[in-house]
Amino acid sequence: MAKSKSKAKKSNGNTSNAKNIKALINQNKMIENQNAEAEKRKQEEAEARERAKQEKLEAEEAAKIKAVEADEIIEPNTQAETTEVADSKSSKDSKDSKDNKTADAGDKKKDKEKAKADAKKKKPAKEKRKFGKRIKETVSELKKVTWPSFKDVVKKTGVVLAVVIFFGIVLFIFDFLLSMLYNLFLNQPIV
């Protein structure tokens, strides 16, 4: 009877250990699944952020292209308007008599001067817009740059300084040895 009780205790202990092991295995599987899901979510979020960045960049590029196209469209229209004004005035001149031609010639000169003055006024505005565009483009490019952390900068600076000091010492030793050899040859008489 005593043997059967000890066997029952052992079998109960073995089953409880097996249950504990199974519970631990299940718990580990659950943790692994949770970690895998969390990692997957992080990757999806990173991909979504990257897509958003790309879409933003594409939208900025499209806006820049539209702005450039708008400037190109505006310029020919203003030129066409000035040529139409000049054409209409020249047609008026051909209709007028010879006496009026001298007066019209003076008007033409005034109109040309006025057109030149207007063109001069428009050019600085375009130049300002171009300068502003350049600044915006520069800022957008600087936003794209991945700047190194302070630790990286310090490490890389340390590497550069170490290399410079090392080669400085090597060159000093090489120079010293060559100067000693040079002095030995100069002090010895030539045979």
For 133, residues 6+ apart whose C-beta sits below 8 A from its C-beta are 64, 67
Structure confidence by residue, pLDDT tens digits, 80-93? 454 554 555 555 55
Q: What is the mean pLDDT of the chain?
A: 76
Check residue 123 and give its pLDDT.
55
Number of structural domains found in the chain: 2
- Residues 171, 78, single domain; the answer is no
74 & 158 share domain: no
C-alpha pair distances (Å), 155 with each of 139, 146, 151, 159, 160: 28, 17, 6, 6, 9
Tell me the range of 1-10, 19-28, 49-58, 172-181 where mean pLDDT is highest. 172-181
Higher pLDDT, 30 or 89: 30
pLDDT in tens, 59-79: 888 888 777 776 655 544 444
pLDDT digits (tens, 9 = 90+) for 33-54: 888 888 889 889 988 888 888 8
Kindly state whether residues 75 and 167 are assigned to the same domain: no
Q: Which domain holds residue 160?
A: 151-186
Structure tokens at 171: 């060159």
CA distance 112 to 119: 10
Structure tokens at 125: 């505005």
